[in-house]
Amino acid sequence: MAKQTINLGTAPSGQDGDDARTAFQKANANFDELYSGTVSQPTNAKLSAISASVWAANQLMYSTGANTMAMTPLTAAGRALLDDADAAAQRTTLGLGGTILQALQALAMTANGVPYMTSTTAMAVQASSAFGRGLWNLVDAAALRSSAGLGTGALLTAATSTIDNAAGRALRVGDHGIGTSSSTMSSSTPLESLVSHSLFSTQDSLPPDWGAAPQELLAKTVLYPMGLNFYRSPSVRSQLAMSYSSTTIGDMRFRTTYGTGTWSDWKTLLGRGDLGVGINTNLETAATVWQGNKFTGWASSAPDSPFGTNSVGLDMGYADNRRMQIAVSTGNAFFYRYANTPDGQQNWTQVLSTYNASALPLTTPLAPNSDAARGLGGASARWSVVYSATGAINTSDAREKTPVRTLTTAEIAAAKELGKEIGAYKWLAAIQEKGDGARDHIGMTVQRAMEIMESHGLDPFEYGFVCYDKWEDKWEDIPAVESTVPADPVYGPETAEDPVTGELVESEVQTNAGEVVIVVTEPASRRLATPAGDRFSFRYDELNMFIAAGFEARLAALEAAMG
């Protein structure tokens, strides 16, 4: 029903309005509608939920669903947080306003990151590995060493001196570390008296058990042995010694007890003079007489040397019919020969001809020791010309390439223009050498090709046919030229006890072989072998393919125009 309005009539008398009965009827109608509830507010589920809540002191109402509510205790601390104006005020209320917590909050955390302090007010994150994190769980230092693979060596104490012989020491640079300090043998003391690991040197020029010089050195005198004594027991011992009597005479020997307690004879390992590296002996003799387990260098013009020329080289093997010789002749050629027959003879075979004059006598393909890992020549060390029965074979296997793409419009335009640049030229070096005899060559310059590529918006160095190399100064060391002047041996008195009478006897012995004076006739120097420079180059096979693509585009356009 619409609201009933009482007509009050016109002032001042209102006689034209509703009479009293009509006015009360309208009022009753309005009240009846209110009492019947037809115009009251409808029931609301949310308000009903609030109405149904049981309120109590210090409780906070909160929603548990779309139309349900519940109560939870609200403490004074909670009310204090609700009263704060912002998050900073809430951190202060909670006591979280310290710089350490702020620094932690500011960290950008990452997977496997470990926070650490960088100052009293700042933190950072350090990446960690699974291995590193595993170290945190180790219970002691022994477990840590085991995990790191350090072993017992990590517990060693460094030696305190060069002759520190304490057990378990770790050696430093320059330490002897052989178990005891160096021993200086007095006059006439045998070397076999050494009964511990040690370095030794002798005051006696010829100790009693040093022995005579080997057959190769009978004409020489090797004096004052010094070396290493290795000792495990009286029956397990060995000695390694070096001796000298001048800068050109001396040797290195060893001997052992063989586990029996009886010393073997001294065996020569390496010597100077008539033995070992640096000897000057007849190559014919060296070729026919095996002198023992050693290698030798020689110089000779004997008929047995390659081409009868002066040669130097190496003689290696273990018997006269089990040996090999390598020689370099004065003609700067390499030779080798070997003997595996009873007569011990074999002809020389040339393996490298005279430098820069002939060729390598190859019987197998010449190849690098690793696939596609070596170049032939270089930007500053080019071959002048390459002769070949057939052309070079370049790898073009689809399994080793990306899919071949079609050239762009800009690339085709550049290819067409490059084809127009092909012309004739002469090398400046050839003109300087041959003058008018210098021949014409066909092609173009890299610089012009780069200009064309760039004019079409292309980067020349993105294409393999454009090459550029740069190198620094290359120097060659020239050694000094030296000559030597030998000095006379020095003799002096030596006092020793006579083994028969026991009296002290003074005798004249050689105490110094004399120093060799080295005279430098030409000092060492350096020569600029190749000045610094740079050079542009083409890979012509790729350039020609690029230009061919331009030709194909032009032909296709002509064929299309014709019909």
**Which has the minimum average pLDDT: 156-160, 173-177, 188-192?**
173-177
416 vs 552: CA distance, rounded Å: 9
For residue 521, name the pLDDT band (cuts at 50, 70, 90): low
Q: Is residue 408 pLDDT above 70, yes or no?
A: yes
361 vs 333: CA distance, rounded Å: 11
Q: Given this model, what pLDDT does residue 29 score?
A: 77
For residue 220, name the pLDDT band (cuts at 50, 70, 90): very low
Q: Is residue 466 pLDDT above 90, yes or no?
A: yes
Instruction: Give the ranges where 403-516 is alpha helix by DSSP (H).
Output: 409-419, 428-434, 446-455
Helix (H, G, I), strand (E, B) or coil at 253: strand
Q: Check residues 290 and 333 and name the one with the higher pLDDT.
A: 333
For residue 290, name the pLDDT band (cuts at 50, 70, 90): very low
Q: Please compute the mean of the pLDDT values over residues 203-219 and round it to a whole number.
A: 60
Which token pair is 125? Answer: 């994150």
Q: Please compute the mean of the pLDDT values over residues 150-179 and round it to a whole number.
A: 67
CB 179 within 8 A of CB 194: no
Domains of the chain: 178-272 (no CATH), 283-352 (no CATH), 408-472+532-562 (1.10.10.10), 481-498+505-528 (no CATH)
Q: Please compute the mean of the pLDDT values over residues 307-314 and round it to a whole number.
A: 59
Query: What single DSSP character describes residue 300?
Result: B
Q: Is residue 90 pLDDT above 60, yes or no?
A: yes
Mean of the per-residue pLDDT values for the chain? 75
Q: Given this model, what pLDDT does residue 402 score?
A: 95
Integer angstrom CA distances of residue 203 from 190, 271, 514: 11, 21, 17
Q: Given this model, what pLDDT does residue 247 score?
A: 58
Q: Given this model, what pLDDT does residue 563 score?
A: 76
DSSP H helix total and E strand total for the chain = 12, 26
Compute the half-sphere exposure of residue 36: CA atoms within 13 Å on the CB side of its CA: 9
Map 364-418 to HEC letters.
CCCCCCCCCCCCCCECCECCCCCCCCCCCCCCCCHHHCCCCCCCCHHHHHHHHHH
For residue 192, name the pLDDT band (cuts at 50, 70, 90): confident
For residue 547, name the pLDDT band (cuts at 50, 70, 90): very high
Instruction: Give the ranges where 98-198 is alpha helix by DSSP (H).
Output: 99-105, 130-135, 141-148
For residue 358, name the pLDDT band (cuts at 50, 70, 90): low
Which range, 57-66, 148-157, 181-190, 263-272, is most confident?
A: 57-66
458 vs 466: CA distance, rounded Å: 12
By CB atoms closer than 10 A (0-12, 13-18, 19+), residue 20 is exposed
pLDDT in tens, 13-63: 777 777 778 877 877 877 776 666 555 566 788 888 888 888 888 888 888
Using alpha carbons, select from 197, 171, 195 the residue that is nearest to residue 182: 197
Q: Check residues 315 and 226 and name the one with the higher pLDDT.
A: 226
Q: Is residue 308 pLDDT above 60, yes or no?
A: no
Name 536's bridge partners: 468
Q: What is the percentage of the chain residues whose pLDDT exceeds 90?
A: 19
Long-range Cβ contacts of 452-458 (<8 Å, 24+ apart) = 452/414, 452/417, 452/418, 452/421, 453/414, 455/414, 455/417, 456/410, 456/411, 456/413, 456/414, 456/417, 457/410, 458/410, 458/411, 458/414
| CA–CA–CA angle 241, 244, 247 (5° rounding) | 135
For residue 215, name the pLDDT band (cuts at 50, 70, 90): very low
pLDDT in tens, 500-510: 666 766 665 55
Q: Given this model, what pLDDT does residue 218 score?
A: 40
Rg (CA), the chain: 52
Q: Is residue 70 pLDDT above 60, yes or no?
A: yes
Query: What single DSSP character describes residue 152?
Result: G
Q: What is the percentage of the chain residues whose pLDDT exceeds 70?
A: 65
Which token pair is 140? Answer: 């002691």
Q: Given this model, what pLDDT does residue 202 score?
A: 79
Compute the half-sphere exposure of residue 251: CA atoms within 13 Å on the CB side of its CA: 27
